[in-house]
């Protein structure tokens, strides 16, 4: 997956971003990890490992969850797809898959098999208000609820169609067999001109998810940034008797996290970038930017930042943009309305 496609072909981060917000864009995210968890009680086992409560969903549904360490650090954030109580598909981040699989294997009872399926599936994200119209032209189903999925087929090859995505728009993720992914990609790409759609790269994927305030592992969630700090409490089943990191996270939640993830919107032309220091008016350090970019939708700098807990929405802060002070306001994400549902 490139950062962006050539400007000469109508690409570029801004054009690709705009296509997804207003029409449709397709992303080849086959680099994402894939793993199977199979065997009697697979869902029950995963529910003792990952943070979110899998009893909230059933077969044909998907859930965002976290794989934590006993200390409450985040090994990865991932999506769990339930086929049946004994058959589950995981989509972790590419670089964390082997560690998630290792931890699951170590903890699982012998009869539950956990396998890395990286080259079993490709992943094509079709995102934007016209995504359903595009899939309909391919003969694929589109009327599932958000975070639901079905097994379908395209020209005789099986394709899993999920109502999921990372852009904040109505969208789908298609999982054909790895060997058939090129065929599905070409079919999607061939329909793009009809919708004035675009093939999209990693740059637009990042600006789209940052506008939604979605975390990216390694930036907003990490071994050092817990879900309590990242304000991902909604992805934790606090009532569950057990999950990895439960005690540490409960303790942090009870005493209050020292740092909290906040969203910042620039008041001038400064563009915040990861690692930049956030200060108050008096120059005292409040924390740092974890993700920052130029928002193509609102045409201003936006950031996610891990800040001292006393900072509140509405506060004005200063970001050190390579030696210049840029003024930013603490706001509630998302920066643009979500259309996932």
Partner 1 sequence: MSSVPENLRYTEEHEWLANTSGVTKVGITDFAQDALGDIVYVQLPSLGAKISAGAVCGEVESTKSVSEIYAPVSGSVSAINERLAVEPELINAEPYEGGWLFEVEIEGNPEGLLSPEEYRKAIGA
Footprint on this chain of partner 1 (rule: CB under 8 A): 3-4, 7, 12-15, 203, 207, 269-271, 273, 293-294, 296, 322, 324
For residue 212, the minimal CB distance to partner 1 (Å) is 17
Distances (CA, A) of 285 to 257, 280, 304: 17, 7, 16
Closest CB to partner 1 among residues 31, 324: 324
Residue indicated by tokens 């909290």: 260
Bridge partners (DSSP) of residue 158 are 153
Kindly report the length of the chain.
341
The span from the CA of 292 to the CA of 69, in Å, is 27
The span from the CA of 44 to the CA of 86, in Å, is 9
For residue 307, the minimal CB distance to partner 1 (Å) is 23
Closest CB to partner 1 among residues 96, 207: 207
For residue 18, the minimal CB distance to partner 1 (Å) is 11
Instruction: Give the sign of the dihedral formed by CA 339, CA 150, CA 189, CA 204.
Output: positive
Closest CB to partner 1 among residues 123, 321: 321
Which residues have a Cβ under 8 Å from the Cβ of 301 and sit 6 or more positions away? 265, 266, 269, 270, 271, 272, 292, 293, 294, 295, 326, 328
- Report strand pairing: 198-200 vs 25-28: parallel
Edge-to-edge strand order for the sheet containing 74-84?
62-68, 74-84, 87-91, 35-38, 113-116
For residue 61, the minimal CB distance to partner 1 (Å) is 35
Closest CB to partner 1 among residues 105, 273: 273
Q: Which of 135, 122, 142, 123 is nearest to 192 (CA)?
A: 135
Closest CB to partner 1 among residues 6, 241: 6
For residue 167, the minimal CB distance to partner 1 (Å) is 16
For residue 283, the minimal CB distance to partner 1 (Å) is 22
For residue 258, the minimal CB distance to partner 1 (Å) is 31
Closest CB to partner 1 among residues 165, 296: 296
Q: Which of 93, 70, 90, 95 is nearest to 79 (CA)?
A: 90
Bridge partners (DSSP) of residue 66 are 77
Closest CB to partner 1 among residues 241, 323: 323
Closest CB to partner 1 among residues 4, 28: 4
Are 319 and 277 in contact, with CB atoms under 8 Å apart? Answer: yes
Closest CB to partner 1 among residues 15, 257: 15
For residue 249, the minimal CB distance to partner 1 (Å) is 36
- Angle at alpha carbon of residue 134, lines to 182 and 297, rounded to 5°: 100
The span from the CA of 169 to the CA of 280, in Å, is 34
For residue 13, the minimal CB distance to partner 1 (Å) is 4
Edge-to-edge strand order for the sheet containing 124-127?
149-154, 157-162, 171-176, 124-127, 25-28, 198-200
């Amino acid at each position: 997956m490139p950062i962006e496609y050539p400007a000469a072909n109508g690409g570029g981060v801004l054009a690709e971003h705009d296509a997804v917000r207003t029409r449709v864009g397709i992303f080849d995210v086959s680099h994402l990890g894939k793993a199977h968890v199979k065997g009697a009680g697979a869902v029950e086992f995963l529910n003792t490992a990952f943070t979110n409560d899998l009893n909230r969903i059933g077969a044909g549904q998907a859930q965002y969850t976290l794989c934590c360490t006993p200390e409450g650090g985040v090994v990865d954030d991932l999506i769990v797809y339930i086929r049946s109580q004994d058959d589950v598909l995981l989509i972790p981040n590419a670089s964390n898959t082997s560690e998630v699989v290792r931890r699951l294997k170590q903890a699982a009872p012998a009869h539950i098999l956990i396998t890395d399926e990286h080259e079993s599936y490709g992943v094509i994200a079709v995102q934007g208000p016209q995504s359903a119209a595009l899939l309909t032209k391919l003969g694929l189903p589109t009327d599932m609820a958000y975070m639901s999925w079905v097994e379908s087929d395209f020209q005789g090859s099986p394709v899993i169609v999920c109502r999921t995505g990372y852009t904040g728009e109505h969208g789908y993720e298609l999982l054909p067999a790895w060997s058939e992914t090129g065929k599905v990609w070409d079919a999607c790409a061939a329909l793009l001109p009809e919708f004035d759609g675009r093939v999209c790269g990693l740059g637009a994927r990042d600006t789209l998810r940052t506008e939604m305030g979605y975390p990216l592992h390694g930036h907003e969630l990490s071994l050092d940034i817990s879900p309590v700090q990242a304000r991902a409490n909604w992805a934790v089943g606090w009532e569950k008797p057990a999950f990895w990191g439960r005690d540490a996270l409960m303790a942090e939640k009870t005493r209050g996290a020292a740092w909290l993830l906040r969203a910042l919107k620039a008041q001038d032309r400064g563009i915040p970038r990861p690692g930049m220091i956030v200060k108050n008016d008096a120059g005292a350090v409040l924390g740092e930017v974890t993700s920052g970019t130029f928002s193509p939708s609102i045409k201003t700098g936006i950031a996610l930042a891990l800040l001292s807990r006393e900072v509140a929405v509405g506060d004005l802060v200063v970001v050190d943009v390579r030696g210049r002070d840029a003024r930013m306001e603490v706001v509630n994400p998302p920066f643009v309305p979500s259309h996932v549902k």
